[in-house]
Amino acid sequence: MADPATIAAAPGRSLRIEPLEDNQKGLCCCCGHLAAAAAVAGNALCLTCVPAYALDEPGIDDIATLIWLPHLEQGALSRCVTALHVACAAEGATIHDETLTGRSRDARRVLDALLACRAGSSERIGTDRPSLLRAAVRALEGHKPPRPEGESGLRVLTLGLWFPDHPRRYFDAAAEWAKSG
Ligand SMILES: [Zn+2]
């Protein structure tokens, strides 16, 4: 499975959220952990991984951010992010609540540490906004995409928020995962 930075460089492909085809049902092809819930550019993805690939989706910068984290591949990062949100959901909280205690507070600290890695993305490519990475890459379509040294350290951190059509979609899903876990 290609990392999101490579997907962003795919010329001529729309990176919008699409419904799953019947033959795409199964585990997410990025994290290999959760059931696929939607597809982006033909890749069947779970709700944690969808925003990491849906870089053409309006409002993507509110749902996900770029971080520099070369020692974790995208799927491993997604499994970690899922675990953080499930830990909060198991306590009836969301990771963005103002007051957190117990494991939810621990989860928030991990998220904050991951969010601090946005600085590494900004230093290397000048932004932590997925839409700007995508726009820059699209502007180069027809040319060989740039592959700066160490580009493979770029990851997309999904924040657990969702698009305006269903803002609580991810939190509701995390609550279900917490029950079944
Ligand atoms: Zn996934």
The CA-based angle 81-84-89, given to 5 degrees, is 125
Q: What is the mean pLDDT of the chain?
A: 90
Instruction: Tell me the two tokens of residue 4.
Output: 């999101």
How far away, in angstroms, is 173 Cα from ligand 1 center? 13
Q: Which alpha helices (H) appear in the chain, and where do they start and end?
A: 4-8, 50-53, 60-63, 74-90, 102-116, 118-125, 130-139, 169-180
The CA 143 to ligand 1 mean position distance, Å, reads 31
CB 89 within 8 A of CB 175: yes
Domain boundaries along the sequence of the chain: 4-180
Ligand 1 centroid distance, CA of 178 (Å)? 16
Q: Compute, in angstroms, the gap from residue 136 CA to the centroid of ligand 1.
A: 25
- pLDDT level of residue 137 (50, 70, 90 thresholds): confident
pLDDT digits (tens, 9 = 90+) for 51-77: 999 999 999 999 999 999 999 999 999
User: What's the gap in Å between 81 CA and the centre of ligand 1?
Assistant: 10
Q: What pLDDT score was predicted for residue 147?
A: 57
Kindly list the protein residues that place their beta carbon closer than 5 angstroms to ligand 1, a single-atom ion.
Answer: 28, 30-31, 46, 49, 78
* C-alpha–C-alpha distance, residues 161 and 131, integer Å: 16
Distance 98 CA to ligand 1 centre (A): 27
Greatest CA separation found in the chain?
A: 51
Mean of the pLDDT values across residues 80-91?
97
Predicted confidence (pLDDT) per residue in 140-160, tens digit: 776 665 555 445 789 999 999
pLDDT tens digits for range 10-52: 667 889 999 999 888 899 999 999 999 999 998 999 999 999 9
Any idea which residue has 């949100």 for tokens?
85
